[in-house]
Structure 1
Amino acid sequence: MTLSDELIASLVRPDSVHKRVYTDPHIFELEMERIYGQAWIYVGHESQVKQTGDYHTTRIGNQDVIMVRASDGNIHVVYNRCPHKGAKVVPDGDGTAGKFFRCPYHAWTFKLDGTHLSAPLRNGLHNTCFDPKHPDFSMRKVARVAHYRGFVFASQSHDGPDLATFLNGVASSIDNLCDRSPVGEVEVAGGVFRVQQRSNWKVFYENLHDTMHAPVTHESSASSARAQADQIGSMPFELLILEGNGEPYEFWEKLELRAYENGHGYMEGIFDPSAATRDPVAAEHFASLSQVHGETRAREIMGMNRHNTVIYGSGSPHTVFQQFRVIRPLSVDRTLVEIQLFRLKGAPESVFERALVYANAINSPSSNVMPDDVEVYARCQQGNQTNGGDWISMHRYAGTDREVENGMVSTNGTSELPMRNQFAAWKRFMVGQAGSGKGIE
C-alpha cells in the first residue's frame, strides 16, 4: 500500500492526530524505515559487554542486532544474520561468543566486527562468485555507532546529525545519571524486567509526560498506600513512591515540561530534591558525592530533579532512580518494554538497593502501578479500532508553549506540549524533514 507524504502529513494537526497513526500496520512499517531506519537508537550500555567477545542482542525497530566487544576493545553493532542462509547467529539475550562468531547452521565464522573469517570445505566454493573479502559474505554492520557517557547508540543511516546533536538537551539527563556516581560512571546491574504491552509504541512515550493521568489511572495504588501509611503511622519509602501519583491537579500544574527537537524532552521530578540531606539513604549518597566534588557541586547534581526523560525512539532514562526503560516496537499493536537498572559506581550500596525497591514497586509486571498503565494503553488501542471517532485530542494549553534555548517549555504542568512535540518530530521523520531544525508546528 502506497502512502503519500501528503497523506501522512495530513494525519498530524497542531493540536490533534488521526487514530491511524496508532492502528495502521502500513504506517507502522513506514515508521520502521523512516524513524527507526534514520534516528539514533539506544542499543545498550558498554558495561553489558565488558570483555572481548561479550555480546548483547537487541532491536533497532524491526531489526535484530548484536552489540559486541571486539578484540581491539571497540564496540560494534552488527545485524544478527549469517550471510550464508540467513540464520540468526546468536540467540536472544546476553552471552559470550569467544574469539569469533560461529553460525550454528553451517559453521561459517566471522570476526567480532562481523568480517568473514572462514567457511567449511571452501574448495567447494571454487569457480564461483564467492569472495571472502566481499561484504556480501560478512555479517553486515549497522551504518553508524556512537557512545555517550557509556551509553551506546546506533543509526541505520549513514546520513543525518551526529549523536550529540540528535540528543540535544536530553543529553544532560544522561550526564546527571552518570554524575550521580562519585566516579562519574554507571553499569547495568540487577535483573531486567520485560513487559509486552498490547498497544502501539507511541502511546508509552506520550504517557511518560502525561501528568493528567497519574491521579486517575493510579488512584487505587495511591489511596492504598495512604491507607497503609495511616495504619502504621508512617510513610516509608515503599509507600511514598506509590502515593506520589495521587497528588492533586494543583501539584501537577506546577511541574515543568521541556521539549526538544526530534521528539525528546523531560518532566520535572515529583519527589522533593531538598531531601538530599534529610533522608538517610540520600544523605549517605550526598556525603559520597561531597567527598569527591564538594557540597556545592553535590547539591547541583542531586538537585537536578527529573522524573522521566524521553529519548524519542529509544526510551526513558530516570536519573533519580537510575534506570532506563527501553521501548521496542514489535508490531502496530505490540510493544516490548525492557527496564534496565544501573548501579552508580562508587556510591553507597544503599543507593542501589533503593533503586531496586523503586523498580520492583513501580516497574515490575507484578507491581501496583505498571499494570494500571498497561491496561489503559490496551484500552486506547482497542478504542481506536472502533468507529467512535477519528481524531486524538492534544489540545491542553496548545498555543501557550514558550520558546527557550534549544526547545520549548510548558506554561502549565498539565500541558500536552510533549505529545505535540513528539508528533511534530514524527511528522518530520515520516516526510523526510528530520533534523531540519523546525520546531513545533
Structure 2
Amino acid sequence: MSSPLSAASIRDLVRADQVHKDLYLSPELFVLEQREFFGNTWQYAGHVSQIPNALDYITVDIAGQSLLILRDNEGAVRALHNRCAHKGVRLYTAESGQLGARFLRCPYHAWSYRLDGALASYPLRAGYEGTGMCESANGQGLAPVSGLKVYRGFIFVRVNLEGPSFEDYFGEAVAALDQMVDRSPSGELVIEGGVLRNTIHCNWKFYLENINDTVHPVSTHESAVRAAQSQWTETDPNAPKPLAIEQILPFGQPYAFFEGMGGRVLPHGHSISGTRASVHSGYGELGDYVKALAAAHGEERAKAILEHSPQNVVLYPSLAVKGSPQTIRVIRPVAVDRTVIEAWNFRTVGGPDLLFDRALNYSRLVFSPMSIVAHDDVHLFEQQQQGLRSGPNDWVSLHRDFNAAELDTLPMDTNGSSELLIRNQYRAWAAHMTRRIA
C-alpha cells in the first residue's frame, strides 16, 4: 500500500461483495491490524483449567503483545503485560508454569512485582531517589490488560482501553460456550491432551474464511473421503463405525447437504455454520450419559444440547468452537503471511470417555498438519497467499448469495453455503479497524 492508511482508505478495501487483496498481502496493513483491530476487540487467551492452582500461569501473544495470565493467591485470574517496567524484558518465556514465589521477578535486573503488577522492590533503591522514577510509568509496575473477562472458564482479554464491553461484543455468540460447558452434567470442562499447534505460511483470514466455507469439502477433501469409503464397506447403515470413519465420511456429503445446513450471522463478525445440521449431527448414541444430562439440566435443555451440533461457531476473530466434538481452534496471527493455529480438546467432567475420545481423534484426524484433511486445506491457503500476488485483478470475490438487504440486517439467518458469513466478518473488521483512526 503506497498511500497513508486513513479510516476512509481502510473502509474502501471492503466492498459489499468483495474485499481487496491488500487485506491478505500488505505488511503495513497487518501492523495496523495488530494494534487496532486485534487490540480493540476481545480475544480468547486461555482456559481456567490451564491455571488450576494459585501461582499457575500461562503466556500468550495477542495483538502483537506478550501477556501473562495467572491465578493469584485468592484464586482470581489476572492478566498483565509480560514486560518489565524497567527495561522491557519479558518476565516469563515459558508457555506455562508455576511462579514458585508470591511475586514476579525480572531475570535481568531483579525488579520484582506483586501479583497485581505493583512494583515491590528493585536493587540500589538509593540511586533512584530524587530522579522521578517512582512518579514515571516505569515506577507504576506491570500494566494490567485493559479488559479481562472469564466466562464459564474461558478467558478473554481486550488489549486496548477503548472498545466494546464483553457482553456487547459477543452477545448471543456466547451461547456456543454455554452449549459446550453444559454438555458436562457438572458444568465443568478441563483442557486435556495437550495442543496441536501448526504454523501456516499465509494470512490468518484465509484460515478463518475456510471455517465458514462449506462449499470446499466436496472438492478439497474428495480424496480423504474416498480413502475412508474404501476402508468402510459395511452395508448396514446402523452398524457402529470406528471413530475415524464416523468423522470423515460426512465430509463426502453433496452440495445440497451443506447448503441445507443453515447459517446465522451476528454483530461484530460472529457466526454459526450449521444451525440446522452439520457433519457432526449423525454421531452415535451415548447411552446413560443422556439420562445424566437430563438429570443435571432438565429434559428440555438436555435435548437442546444434544440435538444442536453446529459445524462451527466463530467467536470472531480468534476462536472457533465445535461443541461436538468438544474442540476449539485458536487463530494467532504472527505476520502478514504467517499464522499459528492451535487445536485444544476438552474433557467433559461427568461425561463418558467417548466424548473425549471423539475430541482427540477429530483433532488428530482433521486439524493435525499431517492429517489427510488439514494437509489439503493448508496447501490451498498457502497457494492463495502466493496466487493473489499475480494478475491484474485486485479483488477477491464474496458474491455468493449476496443480497443488499443483508447490509442493514443483523442478526440474520441464511443457507449453509452462503458467503454472507464471510462478508459479515469483513464488515466487522472494517468497523473495528477504524474505531480510533480518523
TM-score of the two chains, using structure 2 as the length reference: 0.92
2:251–2:279 CA contact under 8 A, matched in 1 = no
1:114–1:139 CA contact under 8 A, matched in 2 = yes
Partner Cα distance (1:261, 1:136) in 2:
40
* Corresponding residue number in structure 2 for 1:252: 258
Partner Cα distance (1:162, 1:137) in 2:
26
Partner Cα distance (1:164, 1:322) in 2:
23
Distance 1:325 1:289, change over 3 A: same
What's the CA shift for 1:133?
9.0
SS in 1 for 2:40: coil
Which residue among 265, 269, 280 is the counterpart of 1:263?
A: 269
Which residue among 170, 184, 196 is the counterpart of 2:199?
A: 196
Distance 1:383 1:274, change over 3 A: closer
SS in 2 for 1:177: helix
Partner Cα distance (2:280, 2:63) in 1:
36
Distance 1:390 1:403, change over 3 A: closer
Name the amino acid aligned to 1:244.
P
What's the CA shift for 1:110?
1.0
1:236 aligns with 2:238: no
The one-character-per-residue Cα deviations of 1:176-221 (angstroms, maximum 9, x if unpaired) are 0001010112121111010011111111111101011111111111
- Aligned-pair identity in percent equals 36
Partner Cα distance (1:224, 1:401) in 2:
42
Partner Cα distance (1:408, 1:433) in 2:
28
Which residues in structure 2 correspond to 1:365-376 (within 5 Å)?
A: 365-376=369-380
2:273–2:311 CA contact under 8 A, matched in 1 = yes
What's the CA shift for 1:134?
5.7
1:104 aligns with 2:114: no
Partner Cα distance (2:93, 2:335) in 1:
21
* Corresponding residue number in structure 2 for 1:330: 334
Distance 1:73 1:404, change over 3 A: farther
Partner Cα distance (2:310, 2:288) in 1:
20
The one-character-per-residue Cα deviations of 1:234-256 (angstroms, maximum 9, x if unpaired) are 64221121122121111111011
* Corresponding residue number in structure 1 for 2:304: 300
Which residue among 372, 385, 391 is the counterpart of 1:381?
A: 385
Partner Cα distance (2:423, 2:386) in 1:
22
The one-character-per-residue Cα deviations of 1:121-153 (angstroms, maximum 9, x if unpaired) are 323323322228966441111111112111111
Partner Cα distance (1:284, 1:59) in 2:
42
Name the amino acid aligned to 1:51.
N
Which piece of structure 1 moves more, 399-408 or 263-272? 399-408
* Corresponding residue number in structure 2 for 1:119: 122
Partner Cα distance (1:217, 1:260) in 2:
28
Partner Cα distance (2:137, 2:279) in 1:
56
Partner Cα distance (2:130, 2:407) in 1:
65
What's the CA shift for 1:335?
0.5
Which residue among 391, 394, 399 is the counterpart of 1:395?
A: 399
What's the CA shift for 1:106?
1.4
Name the amino acid aligned to 1:31.
E
What's the CA shift for 1:13?
0.8
2:84–2:91 CA contact under 8 A, matched in 1 = yes
Which residue among 153, 156, 160 is the counterpart of 1:153?
A: 156
TM-score of the two chains, using structure 1 as the length reference: 0.92
Partner Cα distance (1:404, 1:394) in 2:
17
SS in 2 for 1:191: strand
1:329–1:336 CA contact under 8 A, matched in 2 = yes
Which piece of structure 1 moves more, 150-159 or 419-428? 150-159
2:20–2:394 CA contact under 8 A, matched in 1 = yes
Name the amino acid aligned to 1:105.
Y
The CA RMSD measured in Å over matched residues stands at 2.2
What's the CA shift for 1:231?
7.7
Partner Cα distance (2:312, 2:33) in 1:
24
* Corresponding residue number in structure 1 for 2:318: 314
Partner Cα distance (1:405, 1:175) in 2:
25
The one-character-per-residue Cα deviations of 1:305-333 (angstroms, maximum 9, x if unpaired) are 21211111222011111111110110100
1:56–1:68 CA contact under 8 A, matched in 2 = yes
* Corresponding residue number in structure 1 for 2:182: 179
Aligned length: 429
What's the CA shift for 1:92?
3.4
Distance 1:256 1:231, change over 3 A: closer
1:84–1:137 CA contact under 8 A, matched in 2 = no
Unaligned regions of 5+ residues in structure 2, if any? none
Name the amino acid aligned to 2:427.
A
Partner Cα distance (1:323, 1:290) in 2:
22
* Corresponding residue number in structure 2 for 1:85: 87
Unaligned regions of 5+ residues in structure 1, if any? 435-441
SS in 2 for 1:113: coil
SS in 2 for 1:165: helix
What's the CA shift for 1:272?
5.9
What's the CA shift for 1:159?
2.9
What's the CA shift for 1:273?
3.9
2:133–2:139 CA contact under 8 A, matched in 1 = no
Partner Cα distance (2:391, 2:383) in 1:
14
Distance 1:221 1:420, change over 3 A: same
2:17–2:423 CA contact under 8 A, matched in 1 = yes
